[in-house]
Structure 1
């Protein structure tokens, strides 16, 4: 039985442990919280993150990175992007150099403006080759993945061989994995769809109507393409699962944390109040700040990102942000 180490026992890390456990793998889940570890090992449950889903016997939890990584052939990072650098730095001295490294983080690191795989390449340099690092991404809410609802995602890596290993490892009848060679495009789509989900949530929360949400999704896709192409991605990637697919589900689903944040802001609540009341991380909040920083640095116009940034961090009223978007100078609709 091959072993996979999952670093992070939040909702998606837990969901993937279920997929892998039922797929015949031995899974070691690393978590910081003692109560999470105890419930997984004694009750086969992780109710703090996913309720009513039983974990297979082949899944165990530990707070020891050494134990979690021992004999692991694949190491999967399921931590928020802002924590990835520190966690990967702690993992680095425990690696043999033979492991395949996978991330499911969806964000852009502040200040460095790196994607998750770029962070891992930087931190693990000298121990793990760039060609051993990849990403798994797509429209895949943990609540549905853990209950074997049909889900389709993408595996991308710096080498096609590693992308295929990721595909073969995670593929099950209800968790279908496609290959994609555009790793930067996959990660840009994964990060920016969270910003657009906050925007869509704000529109819903403020009762701006379906037309407004449709416009935000469509023009949000435009911004994803604009940033991606500027960073060397293929425009076609954004018509796929990690672009349009993930954008639709994150902007419309009740499971979306980022839409939840936006909806509550649209209802008049303050960001700090919303975040304090959440058990899980909405990556789009920090990503909005990072991507807005990137857009300003590169003099690239990203009006929805800018509007969300103003609402989240500059105390702009959501209605005023919408008016600002609607009254911009007339434009032609272009693909990028």
Structure 2
């Protein structure tokens, strides 16, 4: 099997490494937009910028240039690009005869000039718009890029509405250090991947303010309820949110020290501005960009998400850090 991974950031590189260490000896190409970067990584056999100290396995080749020429010889194409670039890439690859899957999590941002009431789409909805004939899917679940690249035990979910795509992903990535489970509920998998990043910002804020483990547990649990309500309203299966792409990804991102979204919350609690927090990361924190789109989608289907609303108000500067928790605790009592 020949696999092309497009996007040489931390996550794309980590999945390329994972595929290249598969026992069945996959031939893996990691495509980088910048030729100089590609040549440097190929020479050093590492991505020193995003995954320092982790060597590339022998079957992994770093390439650049005409991406369609590389796509023409692949059996599977994996997009390791941010959500903001997904529409462009799917449009470019819309005529591919092999499956194209994405690693990004979130809802597409709404353009500034969009009409009132507009909302962002999930990745599979973007694909339906720009590449309706493409065999496609998502690879998601609780995972930090550095741990995947180091071959530490990881479990992911392969989701697709297309027959055979999930099974192909299982075949491509399921190996000694990675378990991959097929799931046909792509709505649930993508909602979980989007909302958990927003909730991780809230949990980081909670921990940064030293509110205690009771508060963290409450926030994660009620956050899971928010996630499930939104997912079910959008057509997902409720049980999906008790699995890897729901509860699993939420717990990892909300509590793990490698979580960029959690780090944003911690930095805001320290008194940093949002700009300072994002700049200090050096990586994309998807929750910062998807919080507003998650909330807009929730309002479109009439789902109440108070934690998400608080995060958006905090990120927009409409709510001071010290008042964020108070705004949640002041809500009227109700049944769980």
Whether these two folds match at TM > 0.5 is yes
Specify the alignment match of 1:104 in structure 2.
103
1:15 aligns with 2:14: yes
Counterpart of 1:40?
A: 41
Q: Is the 8 A contact 2:45 2:55 kept in 1?
A: yes
1:122 maps to what in 2? 129
TM-score (norm 1): 0.93
Deviations 1:1-21 (A, max 9, x none): x21111111111111111111
Q: Secondary structure in 1 aligned to 2:179?
A: strand
2:266 equivalent to 1:267:
no
SS in 2 for 1:135: strand
Counterpart Cα distance in 2 of 1:273 and 1:35:
29
Q: Look up the match of 1:25.
A: 26
- Greater Cα shift, 58-67 or 303-312: 58-67
In 1: Cα distance, 2:59 partner to 2:41 partner: 11
Q: Which runs of 5+ in 1 are unaligned?
A: none
- Whether 1:113 and 2:120 are equivalent positions in the alignment is yes
Say if 2:53 is the partner of 1:52.
yes
* 2:250 maps to 1:247: yes
Pairwise CA RMSD: 1.4
Aligned partners of 2:6 and 2:321: how far apart in 1? 37
Structure 2 unaligned residues grouped into runs of 5+: 111-118
Contact kept? 1:40, 1:60, Cα under 8 Å: no
SS of the equivalent of 2:281 reads coil
User: Quick one: which of 311, 323, 326 aligns to 2:326?
Assistant: 323
Which residue in 2 is equivalent to 1:71? 73
The alignment covers a number of residue pairs equal to 325
Q: CA deviation at 1:105?
A: 0.7
Give 1:1-336 correspondences, 5 Å limit.
Answer: 2-23=1-22, 24-64=25-65, 65-92=67-94, 95=95, 97-111=96-110, 112-125=119-132, 128-129=133-134, 132-333=135-336
Deviation at 1:319, TM superposition (A): 2.1
